[in-house]
Amino acid sequence: MIRQSIFISYCLIALLGCSTQQSLSPADNALDAGREFIDAQLKGDFAKATFYMLDDAKQQAWLKTAEENYRKLDRGGRQQSREASINIAGVQEKHADTTLIQYSYSFDTSPKTLLVVKNNQQWKALPAFP
């Protein structure tokens, strides 16, 4: 009986250990940070999007609104968003630590722009910039 309890406990611990989210790696460059941020947002992974986004009040408010809009989509809309491809139209390095990425989605071809900056030696997206 004790062996069975230990075995069950071991299996539960192993199962819980496997289900924890893998740690995310900082982006190597501005384009990778931008793509990771955009992809996470499209897939509804807002924890990952937060990781690749500059952490300030304006960006958090923008992401909260984006998440609310994502949650309002019907099942088909969320599926379309998860399956969308990102179309990079252009990448402009403004400074060594500032890059603009022009992009659209396969389901929404209206042009969008994302600012990516290097902050504390890490590339971070700023979706809500002036």
pLDDT digits (tens, 9 = 90+) for 36-54: 999 999 999 999 999 999 9
* Residue 7 maps to a domain: no
* Residue 33 maps to a domain: yes
How far apart are alpha carbons 70 and 73 in whole angstroms? 5
Q: Which domain holds residue 85?
A: 28-126
Q: Which of 129, 123, 128, 127 is nearest to 32 (CA)?
A: 123
Cα 7 versus chain centre, distance: 38
Q: Is the backbone of residue 13 left (phi > 0), alpha (psi -120 to 50) or beta?
A: alpha
* Residue 37 maps to a domain: yes
Distances in Å between the Cα of 108 and the Cα atoms of 42, 58, 75 are 12, 24, 17
* Residue 20 maps to a domain: no
Cα 25 versus chain centre, distance: 12
User: Could you tell me the CATH number of the domain that includes residue 76?
Assistant: 3.10.450.50
pLDDT digits (tens, 9 = 90+) for 49-81: 999 999 999 999 999 999 999 999 999 999 999
Tally of structural domains, the chain: 1
What global pTM score does this model have?
0.81
* Residue 64 maps to a domain: yes
* Residue 83 maps to a domain: yes
